[in-house]
Structures are given as structure tokens and as C-alpha cells.
Amino acid sequence: MEPFRSEIRNTPSEQTIKIYLSDESLDMKIKHHLESFNEIDFIEISETIAQNRSDENLTVFLKEGIDINKMKASIDSSLWWYFEEDLVD
């Protein structure tokens, strides 16, 4: 099982990036890790209502004018690095 999955989602007011972790106990650690990105406005930990998903997710809201596709790629890359480093330790 992959350590995380991310997707771009549309809300009524803006696009967000949802991150679903296979280990929800890491929600706060990953939130803290992602807060170092200057392009991120804020991050919420939310309950997931949809079927076939984790019980919780991280919802990433970006600052105005940030390219969501590039940001998703940056977040994914950073999270792969994070989990690879964590597995080595």
C-alpha cells in the first residue's frame, strides 16, 4: 500500500489538494512538514465522507495565483522524499 495519495479537488470557491495518508497517525507530522511551503495558505485536517477513502484527509489551500498542478507535483515529490527518509531511519 502506498503511504499517501493526493488529488486536486474543486470546491465551490477554489481548487484544493486533498492528501489521504495510509497511516492517519501521521496527519499532524505531515501537516507540519507541508507548512514549510510558502505557496500554501493553510492546511486543514478533515473527516472524509466519501467511500473507499481514509477516514481523514489533509486539505491544502494555496495562496492566490499559485499553479495548482505545479504545487501538487511539488507536494507529491516532497512527500515521497519524506516517506523514503522515514523508512531509512
**CATH number assigned to the domain comprising residue 76:** 3.30.1360.10
Q: What is the pLDDT at residue 55?
A: 80
DSSP-derived 3-state class of residue 84: helix
Per the structure, how many domains does the chain have? 1
Task: List, for residues 49-85, the tens digit of each pLDDT value.
Answer: 765 666 889 999 999 999 999 999 999 999 999 998 7
The domain in which residue 61 lies consists of 4-88
Could you tell me the three cell numbers for 14? Answer: 477554489
* CA-only gyration radius of the chain, Å: 13
Q: What is the pLDDT at residue 74?
A: 98
Q: Note the residue count of the chain.
A: 89
Q: What is the pLDDT at residue 86?
A: 62
Q: What is the pLDDT at residue 52?
A: 60
Between residues 48 and 37, which one has the greater pLDDT? 37
Q: Model-level pTM?
A: 0.86
